[in-house]
A and B are shown apart, each in its own frame.
Chain A
Amino acid sequence: MATDTLNPTPLNPRAWLHPTPRGLYCVPGDFYIDPAVAVPRAVITHGHGDHARPGHRHALATPETLAIMRARFQDMADTQQQALGYGESVRIGDVEVSLVPAGHILGSAQVVLEYRGQRIVVSGDFKRRPDPTCPPFEPVPCDVFITEATFALPVFHHPSDSSEIGKLLRSLQTFPERTHLVGVYALGKCQRVIKLLRAAGYDKRIWLHGGLASLCTLYQRHGIDFGDIALVSDAVLETFKGAIVLCPPSAMADRWSRRFFDPIPAMASGWMSVRARARQRGAELPLIISDHADWSELTQTLKDVGAPKVWVTHGREEALVHYARSIGIEAEALHLTGRDEEDES
């Protein structure tokens, strides 16, 4: 009651943060979050191509995300870069901005925005299970929570990482002479799969497609130890019999893969839990390893952050909106441009 007297018209969050054709726009800070095109001022949640784009005049992100962007984009020198570590905050215009771990990939962050006593969390992409390459997601209580919905259907319950890595190692036992060719996204999935293999006790050399080299080096520079890794292109007389070779998914169907001995195409992705999707990708050994929250993680997160309002973006918004409403949350779909569901999931 007292609040009503002080503030007769409650602040509508949509009035200060809303989607535009260029991306999610914060009015009182005059910046975009993960814009689809080059803008004067951008705040970037993480380094995947559908979130981080080149050409902004000014970009704010974690130091790791900025390093990833410099590794991926040629002309980052033209962008004024502002690094903000986890837990630090900065004022942009009338908005207090801070970054909090999202647990998605190295450097990934949720953007916490505070304006006139209202807090909105833009979570970007996130997952809740442990990842040896980045700090875990931290739930931040807020008034509005913006969540991704990549795997927002009750059919997605990602099994444990160790059971999926176990599948790969068992296949190596059954087919000890065949090359196990594992399709991984270059940023995040690749490095996580290497770390998971090491955690499972696999200590042999892991071979990499050349396209994965620069980001692995970047992770190593950030203190992540991969053990014995080497590039396929450096091996002259190697037969790759019984070896694990990681490559971008596109390379599996490429002529590049013809050098391997009777390869088993494996694919590490959250989409692999649905058989038709796995077949469509040509996977003979589907590994359900995802850097996105599954259905239980998404629904648990809505409870953890306790936001009365939830905006759902990119993916299967309908199911998550339905669920959120069923537990009394005011939920709606937020349509953002430029999100690519298939890549880097």
Chain B
Amino acid sequence: MQAFAELLDSLSFQPARNAKLRLIETYLRETPDPDRGWALAALTGNLNFAAAKPALLRSFGEDKIGPELFHLSYDYVGDLAETLALIWETDPNAGPPPGLGEVVETLQRATKMQTPPILKRWLDALDATGRWALLKLLTGALRVGVSARLAKQAVANIGNQPVADVEEVWHGLSPPYRPLFDWLLSDGPKPSSNMGGAFLSPMLANPIERTELDALDPAHFRAEWKWDGIRVQVASTGGVKRLYSRAGEDVSSAFPDIIEAIDFDGVLDGELLVRREEAVAPFNDLQQRLNRKTVTPKMLKEHPAHVRLYDALWLDGADLRALSFDERRARLEAWMAAKPRPRFDVSPLVTFADWAHLAQLREGMRQDGIEGLMLKRGDSPYLAGRPKGPWFKWKRDPMLADCVMMYAQRGHGKRSSFYSDYTFGCWREGTGGQRELAPVGKAYFGFTDEELRWLDKWVRDHTTNRFGPVREVEPSLVIEVAFDGVARSTRHKSGVSLRFPRINRIRTDKPAAEADTVDNLLRLVP
């Protein structure tokens, strides 16, 4: 537990992806089974205890130091689990601290009544970092900035295997994943991926620009629309039906309507959308359904999910991945034609004569729900990962708005001495009738190193106020912000949220008063 606690502690402060990987890899190599397996389960979101409710923690704290001191402490720290971890003192007579495996196995067996005294004994034996990690684990919120995908990447790295191989076997395994570590670190056999409903690593595309296309022969390529949903894999094998995100996260429980509609055997690649009649709903509608453990009947009715298919990896017991795109596509179309299915359809191919023609079609496509075009070589087999050459994404040009920089914050790691995170706003009419800036988004990339140096200096020279690490700046610098979409938002003061905003250009030529208004942005809401 202590080693796991130190890992979580380091991860929570370390923002850089590579450094996080290094920390997880070091931990996995140095920690014996089963502890490392349980740690991996915790990091990938596969450990769920609701063993400690906030009320229990509060009563522990009040009993320990009295309600007055506990409230002063909580008020200062602001986080209940952290407060309790800090005020609780290690008891030297409490014996050795528990291992992570011991914690997990005990909690899986313990009844609700048995948990509090066990928990107290552990709190006595651990140090402050250990207590914090234990309480985070028990309250079910690690929040250390590690995605399941990143944890799997670290696992793959320790065994020098591609992450795709780990993803393929992942869904046939369960914590504490002994066969996985045996395979990666001790010459054990590769775990089987022939389990029902296994995830197969998807094939990804590289971005491309118009100018780069001329080097390619259009006759070799097929084009299809890039739908604005989330890329998913529908896996129905060995009687098990699952829906995965492209990172291999199982999202089946959030989309029972899709799972119920699966009446076939196969592994299909497609885009998850919300579809009403024939129209694809804006991305924001799909977002309403993501990250939900349970879905209400109302949600199912008002936000019906749909999968628009791009490709077939397996169909009727046959692995199609070695076939060419053209052959897989023909099989997919024939399969769909044989029996149409209401929640699935095949994304149509876009026919074109040459790149200029395709560019015209791309320009002309103003329909919502389309992000751009996909270009795929007709002879490309289905390869896991992001191979260079066979597949390209040619995104729609982003939307642009001229915004005024309002606040700046320093970045992390290499950027820790640079003001590199910018909050920007647009104009609106304030309560008093005068124009005011309302923050509409935050961006921390899109600029060159040289522009970053310039922006950093500008921020330092135009600071009007400081709030901890944040600087308020004179509202005089216009930045052109590029983004992929706009949605109404109740969580943002301005009432809008931008999708994927980044700095496109610095507009020193433009006076701040001529920047865009919030109303301009609202007009872009689909």
Contact = CB atoms under 8 A, between A and B. Distances in A.
B73 A174 contact: no
A128 B77 CA distance: 24
Contacts of A275: 12, 79, 82
Interface string B1-38: 00000000010111100010011001000000000000
A253 interface: yes
B68 A322 contact: yes
Interface in A71-89: none
Given A257-B417, A284-B412, A174 B23 contact: yes
A64 B315 CA distance: 83
A257 B416 contact: yes
Contacts of B469: 280, 282
A337 interface: no
B417 A274 contact: no
Given A257-B416, A258-B417, A286 B73 contact: no
Contacts of A242: none
Interface in A299-321: 316, 318-319
A290 B72 CA distance: 21
A319 B412 contact: no
A263 B15 CA distance: 12
Nearest to A251: B417
A4 interface: no
Contacts of B15: 284
Contacts of B72: 153, 316, 318-319, 322
Contacts of B77: 155, 274, 276
Given A175-B19, A280-B468, A282-B469, A254 B417 contact: yes
Contact of B416 (A157, A265, A322): A265
A222 interface: no
Interface in A237-290: 252-258, 262-265, 273-276, 278-280, 282-286
Contacts, number: 85
A120 to B, nearest CB: 27
Contacts of A319: 69, 72-73
A257 B410 CA distance: 13
Contacts of B73: 153-155, 319
Contacts of B68: 322
A183 to B, nearest CB: 11
B451 to A, nearest CB: 16
A316 B77 CA distance: 13
Interface in B73-123: 73, 76-79, 82-83, 86-87, 89
Contacts of A285: 10, 13
Given A155-B77, A276-B77, A285-B13, A263 B416 contact: yes
A159 B86 CA distance: 11
A276 B77 CA distance: 8
Interface in A148-202: 153-157, 159, 171, 174-175
A115 interface: no
The interface size bin for chain A is 35 or more
B455 interface: no
B413 A255 contact: no
Nearest to B78: A276
B65 interface: yes
B6 to A, nearest CB: 8
Contacts of A273: 86, 128
A248 to B, nearest CB: 14
Contacts of A296: 89
Contacts of A278: 13
Contacts of A283: 13
B127 interface: yes
A136 B246 CA distance: 60
A197 B446 CA distance: 41
A252 B89 CA distance: 33
Contacts of B65: 154
A157 B76 contact: no
A154 B69 contact: yes
Nearest to A163: B127
A239 to B, nearest CB: 15
A116 to B, nearest CB: 37
Contacts of A257: 416-417
Interface string A320-345: 00110010000000000000000000
B33 to A, nearest CB: 22
A155 B414 contact: no
Nearest to B82: A275
B22 A174 contact: yes
Contacts of B69: 153-154, 319, 322-323
Given A253-B417, A276-B78, A155 B89 contact: no
Contact of B76 (A155, A175, A252): A155
Interface string A83-117: 00000000000000000000000000000000000
Contact of A284 (B13, B26, B70, B87): B13
A284 B14 contact: yes
Nearest to B13: A284
Contact of B86 (A262, A274, A322): A274
B83 A155 contact: yes
Nearest to B19: A175
A67 to B, nearest CB: 34
B128 A262 contact: no
Nearest to A170: B6
B495 to A, nearest CB: 29
B62 to A, nearest CB: 12
B414 A157 contact: no
Interface string B459-489: 0000000001100000000000000000000
A252 B86 contact: no
A153 B417 contact: no
A159 B416 CA distance: 27
Contacts of B83: 155
Interface string B324-368: 000000000000000000000000000000000000000000000
Contacts of B70: 154
Contacts of A174: 22-23, 26
B19 A153 contact: no
Nearest to B61: A154
B208 to A, nearest CB: 31
Contacts of A274: 76-77, 82, 86
Contact of A157 (B12, B79, B128, B413): B128
Contacts of A159: 127-128
A17 B414 CA distance: 52
Contacts of B89: 157, 296
A286 B13 contact: yes
Contacts of B66: 326
Interface in A52-80: none
Contacts of A254: 417
Nearest to B419: A253
A253 B65 CA distance: 38
A232 B222 CA distance: 58
Contacts of A255: 417
A155 B410 contact: no
B78 A253 contact: no
5 contacts: A153-B72, A154-B73, A155-B86, A274-B82, A282-B469
Interface of B: 10, 12-15, 19, 22-23, 26, 65-66, 68-70, 72-73, 76-79, 82-83, 86-87, 89, 127-128, 410, 412-414, 416-417, 468-469
Given A153-B73, A273-B128, A276-B79, 20 more contacts: A153-B72, A153-B76, A154-B73, A155-B87, A157-B86, A174-B26, A175-B22, A262-B413, A274-B76, A275-B12, A280-B468, A282-B410, A282-B412, A282-B416, A282-B469, A284-B13, A285-B13, A316-B76, A319-B72, A322-B69
- 9 closest A-B pairs by CB: A155-B86, A154-B87, A155-B73, A257-B417, A284-B13, A319-B72, A154-B65, A280-B468, A154-B69
